């Protein structure tokens, strides 16, 4: 394998691996620089003297070198390795607390909550010193943030804090999600502690004004709220005005990707532009026509990217399609996989290394890779099936329709093959009726985009014609009705699928082996078989490894026995896990939301019927006594009689709803080996109990501060057997 045959997809994978490792393992920057320099030097020597290096040795050196490059790119994005980051700014000399005076530029408005109005902002000064970095700003719910625009300047006083880790197993790690966006700190801003000022000369502000004007045209065009919200999401990427119930239906039906502007939307826009140009200029012949079509298509692509606000998913899609246009312009469309790798390298090494950690990036590249890898084989199988049906003597129009359906089905199935492992890893569910939605809604999306652009153009010249409004609302209603019917088919939605990083790695190894096995030969020599046997062996080995790994995880989870005291504000409860079953105990299960479901989904557990919370429990060689402020009459020593076992059996004390009779005398009499306070207690009571336990040298755990508490029942049982 010489230099010309160097696979860019392998190098981009190595680059992504290096970036991932830099975020998962904190390497010293000096070590990373030395490793990257040595590996880069070795690659340069191999490049300069190719005849003295074995082809596979050159490939291995290149892969190691790009891993080093990824480590360097990712490490340089960490706040501790950025001298200008605001975390390194010296505090004010007259300040006794770590409060900072920060100047920022608003970049993106996040979905509002009942308690705050979050914005992502870019720091440009802190405590009067130049600074950099991104920050999440939590404005109070009374702030007029709906009138603000990206590019506005914010001046505030606050204390940057890290993100709180999840309090319960299986909960969404919001802090880790924000770190994948390059955001490590947030500020909870109090009223009157900030000042907002529009930046009229900022290009981002001018772009935001243009987008807001277009958004107002859509909302004031006469469309109903649902239609205006859907077109705003499809054209401008504004999803805040979507009906929450409608958003949930799109998610359950497996068509939520239609609401977020991504490669599908950008690709359809490019297709519409090219079709329009060919219809307009098809009969004309002039010098430079090919270059004119290329430049016009490229310009329209990036104008739509600006229209969508330069969102991360839109920029990624535009870069990929721009490189595809370049490949087409130079008659090199046959190397699509190499250009996909090149696009990934440009995005990660030049633009934003954080993207490799984001689900959107993984899903986008997974879908495109799946289409490039599996579409020829899947489309060939479906075409052969359609040809067999055509041989039965069906009319030509029906045969043409079946071929179109087969082609769309091949694209949808191929894309799903590329994203299934990532989707299961992040969302733990899979809609099996995705094909039905894709066959109808994806072609329909092109019609919706065309109609949306027509509405924008018509609103620029005056009132929108009533016929156009009627057509738009009718089509939106039809699309939403179809999505609602798909979402109602719960039998076709698999939820609670256990899929961890081991499953993810082995499943992609399986898919890569299968893709190589089905790949068409690239040389003129004709192979005796259509299947690459070595690649097929890799796929079969990966399948076996995946099955064995899943079996091992099933056995490990099946042997687990745990008792959890989960965290839920103003609620009291516990979970008892016995192998693959989870038995919740709670005062009111309605107060727990998705907390129990999230934990069960992470391990693939079966949730049993919720039981009422008891005063006392016994497990193995331990006892658990629960004292609740709602039952003060039972909060004395008499509660011990409800716990079977000898009086000297180790006791764990669980406190709920801030009981008032917890004092030194009671704790000394009970002599618990540990005191646990769940999320139903007041913070003032937690402080008092923590002080008492510290004096009596009793371990204290407050779930509101430290998260859920777990007791391994297998360990308790084994200790009891040993003592017996």
Which of 481-520 are b and which e, b meaning 16 or more Cβ less than 10 Å from the residue's Cβ?
ebbeebbeeeebbeebebbeeebbbbbbbbbbbbbebbbe
pLDDT digits (tens, 9 = 90+) for 638-691: 444 344 444 556 789 999 999 988 888 889 888 899 999 999 999 999 999 999
Domain ranges of the chain: 8-76, 86-199, 202-253+433-496, 359-431, 501-557, 561-723
What one-character DSSP code corresponds to residue 268? Answer: H
Q: Which residue has the tokens 């299961």?
A: 424
CA pair distance 575, 596, nearest whole angstrom: 8
Residue 655 CB neighbours (<10 A)? 25
Average pLDDT over residues 155-180: 91
Handedness of CA 174, 177, 181, 182 (dihedral sign): positive
Tokens (6 digits) for 137: 């700003």
Helix (H) or strand (E) holding 107: strand 100-109
Angle at which helices 434-459 and 263-281 pack, to 10 degrees?
60
| Residue position matching structure tokens 């999600």 | 177
HEC string of 408-466? HHHHHHHHHHHHHHHHHHHHCEEECCHHHHHHHHHHHHHHHHHHHHHHHHHHCCCCCCH
Under 8 Å between Cβ of 109 and 169:
no
Question: What pLDDT, in 10s, does the model give residues 254-286?
Answer: 777 777 787 778 888 888 888 888 888 777 777
Q: What secondary structure does DSSP assign to 680-714, as a single string? A: TS-HHHHHHHHHHHHHHT--EEEHHHH--EEEEHH
Residue 561 in contact with residue 579, Cβ under 8 Å?
A: yes
Supply the pLDDT for residue 25. Answer: 87
Q: Is the CB of residue 539 less than 8 Å from the CB of residue 513?
A: yes
Whether the predicted pLDDT of 169 surpasses 90: yes
Lowest model confidence (mean pLDDT) among 73-82, 143-152, 471-480: 143-152
Residue 7 confidence class, pLDDT cut points 50, 70, 90: confident
Q: Write down the mean pLDDT value for the chain.
A: 84
Instruction: State the burial class of residue 327 (Cβ atoms within 10 Å of its Cβ: 0-12, 13-18, 19+).
Output: middle
Q: How far apart are CA 306 and CA 207, in angstroms?
A: 8
Quick one: pLDDT at residue 178?
A: 92
- pLDDT digits over 329-353, tens only? 776 655 677 778 888 888 888 888 9
Q: Other C-beta atoms within 10 Å of 231: how many?
A: 25
pLDDT at 392: 78
CA dihedral sign of residues 591, 592, 594, 596: negative
Assess whether pLDDT exceeds 80 at residue 224.
yes
Contacts of the segment 457-465: beta carbons below 8 A, 24+ positions apart: 458/221, 459/217, 459/218, 459/220, 459/221, 460/217, 463/222, 464/221, 464/222
Query: Per-residue confidence at 635, pLDDT binned at 50, 70, 90?
Result: very low
Nearest-Å Rg of the Cα atoms of the chain is: 30
d(Cα 262, Cα 409) in Å, to the nearest integer?
Answer: 20
8 Å CB contact between 657 and 630: yes
Ramachandran area for residue 408 (φ above 0: left; ψ -120 to 50: alpha; else beta): alpha
In this structure, which long-range contacts are made by residues 680-687, counting pairs with CB atoms below 8 Å and at least 24 apart in sequence? 680/568, 680/569, 680/570, 680/571, 680/572, 680/656, 681/629, 681/655, 681/656, 681/657, 682/658, 685/655, 685/658
Assess whether pLDDT exceeds 90 at residue 531: no
Provide DSSP, 629-695: GGGGGG-SGGGGGGS-S-TTS-EEEEEES--S---HHHHHHH--SEEEE-TTS-HHHHHHHHHHHHH
Q: Specify the range with the lowest mean pLDDT, choosing from 115-124, 457-466, 540-549, 579-588.
A: 457-466
pLDDT of residue 660: 87
Backbone angles phi, psi at 184, to 5 degrees: -110, -10
- Rounded CA separation 214/235 (Å): 10
Mark 657-685 as b/e (b = at least 16 C-beta within 10 Å): bbbeebeeebbeebebebbbbbbbbeeeb
Q: Does residue 527 register a pLDDT over 70? A: no
The pLDDT value recorded for residue 179 is 92
What is the pLDDT confidence band of residue 572, given thresholds at 50, 70 and 90? very high
So what's the pLDDT on residue 407? 84
Of the listed ranges 134-143, 179-188, 313-322, 548-557, the one predicted with least confidence? 313-322
103 three-class SS:
strand
For 353-398, what is each residue's pLDDT tens digit? 988 998 888 988 888 899 888 988 888 888 888 888 877 777 878 8
The CATH code that applies to domain 86-199 is 2.40.50.140
Assign 240 a pLDDT band (cuts: 50, 70, 90). Answer: confident
Least confident span in 87-96, 243-252, 597-606: 87-96
The pLDDT score that the predictor gives to residue 637 is 42
Grouping H, G, I as helix, E, B as strand and the rest as coil, residue 304 is: helix
Closest CA to 420 of 515, 511, 518, 549: 511
Query: Which of residues 52 and 661 earns the better pLDDT score?
Result: 661
pLDDT of residue 631: 67
What letters, b where the CB count within 10 A reaches 16 and e where it falls short, cover 204-224?
Answer: bbebbeebeebbebbbebbbe
Do 603 and 579 meet the contact criterion of CB atoms below 8 Å apart?
no
Q: Could you count the other beta carbons within 10 Å of the beta carbon of residue 569?
A: 11
48 burial type by CB count under 10 A (0-12 exposed, 13-18 middle, 19+ buried)? exposed
Predicted pLDDT at 566: 95
Task: Quote the pTM value.
Answer: 0.83
| % of the chain surpassing 90 pLDDT | 31
- Mean pLDDT, residues 201-229 taken together: 83
Residue 711: what are its φ and ψ, rounded to 5°? -120, 120
Which residues make Cβ contacts (< 8 Å) with residue 569, sequence separation at least 6? 679, 680, 704
Q: Give the side-chain half-sphere CA count within 13 A for 524.
A: 0
Q: How big is the chain, counted in residues?
A: 724
pLDDT value at residue 578 = 93
549 has pLDDT over 60: yes
**Dist CA 326 CA 346 (whole Å):** 14
- Measured CA to CA, the distance from residue 713 to residue 175 in angstroms comes to 30
Let me know: does 479 contact 409? Beta carbons within 8 Å: no
Q: Which helix (H) or strand (E) holds 622?
A: strand 622-628
């Amino acid at each position: 394998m010489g230099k010309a045959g160097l696979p860019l997809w392998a190098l981009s994978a190595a680059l992504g691996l290096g970036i991932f490792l830099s975020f998962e393992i904190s390497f010293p920057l000096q070590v990373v620089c030395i490793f990257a320099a040595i590996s880069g030097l070795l690659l340069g020597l191999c490049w300069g003297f190719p005849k003295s290096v074995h082809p596979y040795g050159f490939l291995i050196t290149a892969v190691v070198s790009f891993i080093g490059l990824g480590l360097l790119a990712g490490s340089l994005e960490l706040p501790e390795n950025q001298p200008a980051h605001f975390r390194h700014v010296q505090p004010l000399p007259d300040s006794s607390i770590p409060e900072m005076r920060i100047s920022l530029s608003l970049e993106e408005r996040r979905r509002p909550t009942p308690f705050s109005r979050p914005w992502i902002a870019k720091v440009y000064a802190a405590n009067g010193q130049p600074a950099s970095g991104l920050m999440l700003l939590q404005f109070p719910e009374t702030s007029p943030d709906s009138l603000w625009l990206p590019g506005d300047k914010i001046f505030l006083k606050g204390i940057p804090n890290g993100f709180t880790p999840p309090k319960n197993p299986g909960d969404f790690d919001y802090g880790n999600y924000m770190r994948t966006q390059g955001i490590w700190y947030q500020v909870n801003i109090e009223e009157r502690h900030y000042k907002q000022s529009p930046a009229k000369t900022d290009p981002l502000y001018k772009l935001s004004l243009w987008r807001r004007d277009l958004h107002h045209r859509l909302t004031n065009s006469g469309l109903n709220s649902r239609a205006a919200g859907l077109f705003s999401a499809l054209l401008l990427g504004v999803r805040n005005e979507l009906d929450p119930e409608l958003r949930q239906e799109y998610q359950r039906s497996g068509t939520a990707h239609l609401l977020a502007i991504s490669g599908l939307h950008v690709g359809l826009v490019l297709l519409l532009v090219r079709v329009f140009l060919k219809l307009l200029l098809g009969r004309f012949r002039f010098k430079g026509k090919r270059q004119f079509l290329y430049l016009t298509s490229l310009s329209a692509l990036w104008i739509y990217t600006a229209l969508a606000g330069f969102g991360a998913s839109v920029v990624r899609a535009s870069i990929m399609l721009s490189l595809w246009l370049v490949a087409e312009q130079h008659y090199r469309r046959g190397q699509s996989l190499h250009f996909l790798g090149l696009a990934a390298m440009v995005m990660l090494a030049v633009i934003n290394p954080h993207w490799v950690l984001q689900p959107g990036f993984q899903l986008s590249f997974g879908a495109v890779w799946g289409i490039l890898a599996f579409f020829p084989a899947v489309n060939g199988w479906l075409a052969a099936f359609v040809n067999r049906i055509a041989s039965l003597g069906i009319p030509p129009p029906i045969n043409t329709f079946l071929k179109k359906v087969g082609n769309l089905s091949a694209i949808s199935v191929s894309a799903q093959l590329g994203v299934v492992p990532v989707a299961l890893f992040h969302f733990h569910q899979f809609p099996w009726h995705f094909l039905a939605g894709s066959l109808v809604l994806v072609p329909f999306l092109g019609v919706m985009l065309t109609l949306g652009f027509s509405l924008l153009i018509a609103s620029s010249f005056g009132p929108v014609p009533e016929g156009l409004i009627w057509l738009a609302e009718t089509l939106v209603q039809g699309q939403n009705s179809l999505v609602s019917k798909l979402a109602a088919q719960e039998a076709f939605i698999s939820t609670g699928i256990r899929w961890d990083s081991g499953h993810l790695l082995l499943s992609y190894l399986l898919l890569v082996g299968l893709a190589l096995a089905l790949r068409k030969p690239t040389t003129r020599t004709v192979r005796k078989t259509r299947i690459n046997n070595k690649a097929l062996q890799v796929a079969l080995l990966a399948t076996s490894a995946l099955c064995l790994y899943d079996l091992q995880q099933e056995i490990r989870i099946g042997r687990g026995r745990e008792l959890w005291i989960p965290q839920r504000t103003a609620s009291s409860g516990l979970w008892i896990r016995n192998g693959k079953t989870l038995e919740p105990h709670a005062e009111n299960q309605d107060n727990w939301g998705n907390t129990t479901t999230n934990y069960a989904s992470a391990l693939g557990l079966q949730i049993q019927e919720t039981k009422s919370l008891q005063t006392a429990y016994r497990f193995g060689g331990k006892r658990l006594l629960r004292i609740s402020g709602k039952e003060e009459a039972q909060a004395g020593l008499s509660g011990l009689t409800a716990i079977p076992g000898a009086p000297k059996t180790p006791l764990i004390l669980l406190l709920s709803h801030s009981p008032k009779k917890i004092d030194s005398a009671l704790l000394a009499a009970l002599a618990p080996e540990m005191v646990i306070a769940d999320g139903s207690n007041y913070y003032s009571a937690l402080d008092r109990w923590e002080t008492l336990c510290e004096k009596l040298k009793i371990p204290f755990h407050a779930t509101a501060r430290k998260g859920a508490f777990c007791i391994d029942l297998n360990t308790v049982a084994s200790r009891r057997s040993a003592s017996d």
